[in-house]
Structure formats: structure tokens, C-alpha cells
Amino acid sequence: MLTDYEKSCNEQLEKLRDKEDVVILAIESSCDETACAVTRGREVLSSVVASQIEIHKRYGGVVPEIASRNHVMAVSEITSQALGQAGLQAKDVDCVAVTYGAGLLGALLVGVSFAKAFAYALGKPLMAVNHIRGHIAANYIAKPDLEPPYICLIASGGHTAVVKVSGLEDITLLGSTQDDACGEAFDKVARVLGLEYPGGPEIQRLAREGKPSVHLPTPLKDSGGYDFSYSGLKTAVINYVHSKEQRGEEYSKADVACSFQEKAVGIMTDAAVRAALDNNLKTIVIAGGVASNERLREMMRLKAEKYGFNVCYPPVRLCTDNAAMIAEEAFNLIKTGAEAAPATLDASATVKITDVTAV
Ligand SMILES: Nc1ncnc2c1ncn2[C@@H]1O[C@H](COP(=O)(O)OP(=O)(O)OP(=O)(O)O)[C@@H](O)[C@H]1O
Ligand SMILES: [Mg+2]
């Protein structure tokens, strides 16, 4: 049985469905960024991200309990800032959106509880957004005329997958990592090279000074599918570094970083290109934190020229976690007739890429 509030939310969403200028306030707190954004249709009016990277750096990775506590301290202030920068008041918002998963449970709960209360107090609908679909939706900000069908390569800290996007919410999984995510492998390799967290940007920086001279394996080389494996690649790098150090031999950290990056992004590029060719699709989109990698973008552009594809990726600030992408995904949900989140909405540490929204 729906409550009066839930019924009113679904009636409001029905009216918003064909509006192109829906004002959405979105909250994102799935990991170590507390973020709030206000969008109008595909336009980002404000996007505030309070990163906790400096706090977690000293531990070499995100400490979940510390992340949750910092979200609690930041979420209200970040929301005021986002509204202020957009030049709007809470009453101007048509709909509230929040990441309900995937991510760290305690961190997600902060955003979910805050957004539920905020939406209820305003009497406005709340959309529950799948974080991974949010990463894909960042591309609609970069390219508002982007339209499915296309192939999307998702490469983030916790996910690596190739999907076919046939409609705004019609997403099919073609392949995914069998073990570590690509971003996770970047972070672990960076750590063994003595670089700071998060490792991706550090590896990218060091790789510019190196050559791809270290031989590394190509996981799942002959599988012909779209699955990935990063655990073996990561272990090969760790073994190389440890054996050099144990034997007291000189080696170039820049060459290791360059060789790893070349292999890590090459594997993903090949899978995405194969998926586009096999599915006869002309557009490849990349999403997630690793989509900000300059070598991945370059490889994709070169393949695009070779095969006549269009390539799309968000600006760097929208590749890593932010709330503007969550608002864009909520806009997609409204357009495709999704229902408002129930008042009982809970956070979920794991969600599948195929999960449209929370039930
Ligand atoms: N330039 C870069 N090159 C490679 N990796 C990068 C770069 N910039 C960021 N990354 C990686 O991106 C990851 C963070 O991305 P993102 O914020 O999407 O992950 P997450 O939110 O932790 O995970 P998920 O989205 O799967 O829940 C980190 O692993 C980081 O090292
Ligand atoms: Mg993310």
C-alpha cells in the first residue's frame, strides 16, 4: 500500500516526464566524496564535491567508518552550497535524487537518510539512483545530444564492464571483470611503486616519463569474449618489482608504470572496440574514474579514427564521483517513467549494472 506522500510523488513524476527543464537536486556519498549538484534538464547549475582524499591518503585507501563520519559532517553544508551556487532555494527543486548503491554501506546511508528527509520535508519525489548508471549518465552532460544505442566501457574503482546501452534505461551487460576492477589495479600497482592514493593519476603522471619496456601478460587473451581480468596483471607487476628489489637490481619505476598503463587500458579498449564492431554500433562511450586516463582516451580516439567510430567521454571532473551525474541519471529515470523511491528506501552495498533503480 502506497502512502499519500508516495502517491503524490508518482503523480508529480508523471507530470515531470515530458518536461525538459526539470530541476533536480542530487546527493552522492557512496565512497569518499560528499557531493551535491543541482541540474536543470541536461544543464548543470552547480556541482559541489567535498573530497576526503587528503584524510584517507595517510591510510593508503578509504577507511569506511571515517568516510561515513565525514559525510555526516559535510552533507548539509554541501547541499546549501549547491543550492546557493545554482541561485535557487529548496522550494524550486522538482525532484531529489540520491545514490542508493553500490558503495560503502555506512557512507551510502548518510546520503540516503539525508535525501529521504529532504525530499519528504519538501513533499517532492525522491529518485534512487544506481551509482554505476550514474557514471554512464555523466556522458549526457558532456554531449547532451548523445543517444543510445551505443557501447559503454565502464572503468571505475570498483567496476569494469562493457555494456550495450540500447535505450536510456535499457542496458545489457556484455562482459565484466572476473576479479579486480581496473581502478583497483591502478591503486594497488601505485602502492607497490610507492605512489600515493589514489593511484590512477599518479601512474598516469609517472608513465609519461617511461617506456612500455616491461613484458606483462595479457589476461584472457584468447577468450574472444568481453570479460576482463586484472588480478593476474597486477600480480605480474608486483612480482616484477619484488624480484628486482630482492636481487638488488636497478629498474625504472616509470617504465613499470608505463607498461602497466599500456596493458591495462589496451585490454579495455580492445574489448570495447570488439563489442562495437560485433554489435554494429558506431558510438563508444567511456565512464568512471579511469575514463579520465589520458592514454585510454588517446587509444580510443585512435581506434575511432581507424574504424570510423564516435567516441565520447566526460570532462575529468565528471569521471570520478560527483552528484551531477546522479542528477542526470535521475533525469533519465523520470523520462523513462520510473517510480519514485519508496519511503522504506535503504542503501545497498552491491547493485548490478542491470538494476534500474531500487525496489
Ligand atoms: N587518470 C587516471 N588514470 C587511471 N585511473 C584513474 C585516473 N583518475 C582516477 N583513476 C582511478 O579511478 C578510481 C576512482 O574512480 P571512481 O570514483 O569512479 O571509483 P569509485 O566510485 O571508488 O568506484 P565505483 O564507481 O566502481 O563504485 C580510482 O581507482 C582511481 O585510481
Ligand atoms: Mg564511482
pLDDT digits (tens, 9 = 90+) for 224-262: 889 999 999 999 999 999 999 999 999 999 999 999 999
Q: What superfamily does domain 148-317 belong to in CATH?
A: ATPase, nucleotide binding domain (3.30.420.40)
List, as one string, the DSSP characters of 105-167: HHHHHHHHHHHHHHHHHHT--EEEEEHHHHHHHHHHHH-TT--SSEEEEEE-SS-EEEEEEEE
CA of 202 to the centre of ligand 1 (A): 12
Residue pair 345/128 in contact (Cβ under 8 Å)? The answer is yes
Confidence of residue 337 (pLDDT cuts 50, 70, 90): very high
- 148-317 and 4-137+319-335 share a CATH fold: yes
Q: How far apart are CA 131 and CA 154, in angstroms?
A: 11
Map residue 340 onto helix, strand or coil: coil
Query: CB under 8 Å to 103, separation ≥6 — which residues?
Result: 29, 30, 31, 131, 158, 347, 349
Tell me, what's the pLDDT at 61? 84
CA of 251 to the centre of ligand 1 (A): 27
Mean pLDDT score of the chain: 96
Residues with CB under 6 A from ligand 1: 30-31, 102-103, 131, 135, 156-159, 183, 186-187, 198-201, 204, 288-290, 292-293, 320-321
Domain boundaries in the chain? 4-137+319-335, 148-317
Map residue 288 onto helix, strand or coil: coil
- Indicate the range of 65-69, 88-92, 122-126, 186-190 predicted with least confidence: 65-69
Q: Whose CA is nearest to atom 12 of ligand 1?
A: 289
Taking residues 326-354, report their average pLDDT: 96
- C-alpha R_g of the chain: 21
Going 165 to 169 to 175 to 181, the CA torsion angle's sign is positive
Tell me, what's the pLDDT at 70? 92
Q: Whose CA is nearest to atom 26 of ligand 1?
A: 158
Confidence of residue 2 (pLDDT cuts 50, 70, 90): confident
Tell me the three cell numbers of residue 336.
523513462
CATH (one of 3.20.20.70, 3.40.50.300, 3.30.420.40, 3.40.50.920) for 4-137+319-335:
3.30.420.40
In this predicted model, what pLDDT tens digit does every residue of 145-201 receive, in sequence order? Answer: 999 999 999 999 999 999 999 999 999 999 999 999 999 999 999 999 999 989 999
In this predicted model, what pLDDT tens digit does every residue of 26-77 receive, in sequence order? Answer: 999 999 899 999 999 999 999 999 988 888 888 888 899 999 999 999 999 9
Q: How far apart are CA 119 and CA 7, in angstroms?
A: 14
Tell me, what's the pLDDT at 56? 86
Confidence of residue 221 (pLDDT cuts 50, 70, 90): confident
